[in-house]
Amino acid sequence: MTTTHLPYLAAVSVRGEDAGSFLQAQLTADLEPLEPGRSCLAAYCEPRGNVLAVLRVEKRENGYLLLMAKSLREGVIKRLGMYVLRARVEFEALDDAVVARVTGEAPEYDLAGASDGPGSGNSEDWRAGELRRGLSWLGADTAGQFLPQMLGLDRLGAVSFKKGCFPGQEIIARLRYLGKLKRFPLLLRTDSGLKVAPGEEVTLVGDSGEDKAAVVDTAVDGDSRLVFVVTRLDSENPPQSMLMAGESVAVEVVAQAWATI
């Protein structure tokens, strides 16, 4: 078994008699089918539908465990707290380190115990693997900028269109049933030495033209760099190069459509 510490993630415990119904009304995923020990991917959105945080929600015997980007945790707790009102629910930021464990083919996220040691895996390798599976946790520079479909979260099973209302549900559902997605998630591979960061804007150039794309996330992957972008160019009209700071670098499309994780 390989254990990898993930310093970019943090955990929140949600407890109380109304914890389940409260989270069900706030997050995009349907939590009702979850049994203790099971988890799902979800998003926390603002009323305009843009994703404030990507979460992994695990049902536990005494409540729920939320995993999210460490840089977003305090803001998420504060915002969720604004909507508690009379609900019997409490939030606690946990100091435990978040780890990923691989036993067989299925990756699992958990909290590290005091005796777990430093872990044998590399967190940058794990981040690259997450991007290849279509998962970006967002961060302070990218939160609140994209609808779930622009990040491919609907394809990852993070959005339920059958459950009750949640913040932004009307806009997100309208895009699914009445609209047309004009900005797509795309995972690109380029030179590992490229200096690019989440939140930056780059120009992608392909045979069909060019587009100002937003960088969502990035990670070094061996001798190359993975760059997760939201763009108007799709895999049928793929970009071939990226322009930034007056420099052009070659890119190739790694993925656009991901299976549920």
Q: What is the pLDDT of residues 150-174, one digit of tens each?
A: 999 999 999 999 988 999 999 999 9
Q: What is the pLDDT of residues 174-208, one digit of tens each?
A: 988 887 888 989 999 998 788 899 999 999 998 87
Question: What tokens appear for 214 in the block?
Answer: 């937003």
Q: How far apart are CA 252 and CA 160, in angstroms?
A: 32
pTM of the model: 0.92
Q: How far apart are CA 37 and CA 189, in angstroms?
A: 35
pLDDT given for residue 180 in this prediction: 81
Q: What is the pLDDT of residues 22-60, one digit of tens each?
A: 999 999 999 999 999 999 999 999 999 999 999 999 999
Q: What is the CA radius of gyration of the chain?
A: 19
What angle (nearest 5°) sits at the alpha carbon of residue 100, between those of residues 97 and 105?
A: 170
Q: String of b and e for 20-51 (b: at least 16 CB within 10 Å)?
A: bbbbbbbbbbbbeebeeeebbbbbbbeeebbb
pLDDT given for residue 261 in this prediction: 33
Q: Which of 50-64, 93-107, 135-149, 199-213 shows the lowest mean pLDDT across its residues? A: 93-107
Q: How far apart are CA 201 and CA 99, in angstroms?
A: 31
pLDDT given for residue 246 in this prediction: 77
**Measuring CA to CA, which residue among 235, 196, 236 is closest to residue 218?**
196
Q: What domains can you pick out in the chain, each with its CATH number?
A: 2-175 (3.30.1360.120), 184-255 (2.40.30.110)
Q: What is the DSSP track for 21-64?
A: HHHHHHBSS--TT--TT-EEEEEEE-TTS-EEEEEEEEEETTEE
- Under DSSP, is residue 150 helix (H, G, I), strand (E, B) or coil? helix
- Helices in the chain by DSSP H: which ranges? 19-26, 73-81, 123-132, 169-177
pLDDT given for residue 230 in this prediction: 95
